[in-house]
Amino acid sequence: MVRAKPPAETLFEQYWNAPDDPALLRVYADELDRLGDPRGAFIHVCLAGEREARLAMMKKHGGALVGPGREFLREYTFGDNGLVAAARTEADKLIAGIGAIGQINPRLVLTITSVKTVALAKELAKISLDRIYFVDFTSITGSHGGTQLPDKVLRVIGPAFTNVRRLALSCRGRPEQCFSPDGLRAFSEHLGKLEYLNFDYYSAGLPPVAEYASVLATIPSLRVVHCFGMKPADLAGSRVKLSTSETTPQRYEAIEAALA
């Protein structure tokens, strides 16, 4: 017997499929409010722009405002609509909580801060990240660069990214810690829907950025690359556009503007 979804889940799926419609989010918030879930009132307060009430609710309810995914996140930041806009987690937490994390926000920017072993990478490869709006390996608090993804890891995790459309990769640090163009090529074979890539590249001891660009140019779905140091000529002959933004786009608005 198939379990019927609770009304709150159904309403959230409706909003998920039309995230530009705040009316659907308000209806979902009404249902949460009816259930006694503080997230409902918090969403309404945020949508109304009531800053003092928002801060008071955050102080009172804390992580309860995140929802079921809270236990799988290390850090999180709320957006103007009362949903978590950005969060950080480690690969093991992501693997354990992908179902709950995938219900947080249709425009969640999720930073993965650690994939320490090949064994863990193999477990990550078994899940699907299609419910994550932007998968980010570049923004670790207090760190120069992002999550280290050597070839042996990048080659393994590809299947999890089959439906990922927006992605940030870090290629900074010692050469043995970073992936090569060949590693990127193996990974790119899984990127069937990738449209936007923020490529955080630092050249010390690494192959020239043009070698990475030649791989990116072969991804049929890729439309925009943001990479300091890369030149339009590096992507010549492909349909890929090089973003000229001076700001690293880790927010929904900046990413969508680049894709427009």
pLDDT tens sequence across 40-65: 999 999 999 999 999 999 999 999 99
pLDDT reading at 185 higher than 60 = yes
pLDDT band of 257, cuts 50, 70, 90: confident
Separation of CA 241 from chain center: 21
Q: For residue 142, what pLDDT is reported?
A: 44
* Choice between 27 and 251, residue whose per-residue pLDDT is larger: 27
Domains and CATH numbers, the chain: 1-65 (no CATH), 69-259 (3.80.10)
pLDDT band of 139, cuts 50, 70, 90: confident
Q: What pTM was computed for the model?
A: 0.93
pLDDT tens sequence across 199-235: 999 888 999 999 999 999 999 999 999 998 899 999 9
pLDDT tens sequence across 117-131: 999 999 999 999 999
State whether the Cα torsion 175-181-185-188 is positive or negative. Answer: positive
